[in-house]
Amino acid sequence: MRINTTERENLMYEIIGRISAMDAPIIFKGALITKLVLAESNFSAISRGTVDIDANWTDEPPTTNQLVGCIKSALQSISSDLDARLIRGYGEKKSAGIEVFHKATGSPVVEIDISVGKSQASKLYHHGELMIKGVLPTEILADKISVLSSNRIFRRSKDLIDVYALVHCSEVNTNDIYESHKRNNRELGGFVEFSTRQADLAHAYEKLRGITNKPSFEDVHRYISIFLEPFILTHKANKIWLPQKSEWQDVPPIQVKNEV
The domain limits of the chain are 7-135, 138-250
Q: Is the pLDDT of residue 229 over 50?
A: yes
**CA-CA distance, 137 to 248, in Å (whole number)?**
17
- At residue 228 the predicted structure's pLDDT band, cuts being 50, 70 and 90, is very high
pLDDT of residue 259: 52
What is residue 183's predicted lDDT score, i.e. its pLDDT? 87
**pLDDT band, residue 260 (cuts 50/70/90):** very low
pLDDT at 47: 85
**pLDDT for residue 232:** 93
pLDDT of the residue at 256: 44
Q: What is the pLDDT of residue 145?
A: 97
CA 26 to chain CA centroid, Å, is: 14
Quote the CA–CA distance of 194 and 191 in Å, as a whole number: 5
DSSP reduced 3-state for 171:
coil
pTM given for the model: 0.89
- Residue 254 has a CB neighbour count (10 Å cut-off) of 5
pLDDT at 227 over 80: yes
Q: Tell me which residue of 139, 122, 120 sits closest to 131, measured CA to CA.
A: 122
Summarize pLDDT for 237-258 with one digit per residue, the tens: 899 999 999 999 998 776 445 5
Residues in contact with 155: Cβ distance below 8 Å, sequence separation at least 6, in sequence order: none
CATH of range 7-135; options 3.30.70.100, 3.30.300.130, 3.75.10.10, 3.10.450.620: 3.10.450.620
* C-alpha distances out from residue 72 to 15, 63, 68, 78, 207, Å: 10, 14, 6, 10, 35
* pLDDT at 142 > cutoff 70: yes
- The mean pLDDT of 140-161, rounded to a whole number, is 96
What pLDDT was estimated at residue 184? 85
% of the chain beyond a pLDDT of 90: 77
Residue 191 phi/psi, 5° resolution?
60, 30
Average pLDDT in the chain: 91
Residue 38 confidence (pLDDT) above 80: yes
Residue 245: per-residue pLDDT: 95
Q: What is the pLDDT of residue 25?
A: 93
Over the stretch 81-123, which tens digit does the pLDDT of each residue have?
999 999 999 987 789 999 999 999 999 999 999 999 877 789 9
pLDDT digits 0-9 by tens, 178-222:
999 998 888 899 999 999 999 999 999 999 998 989 999 999 999
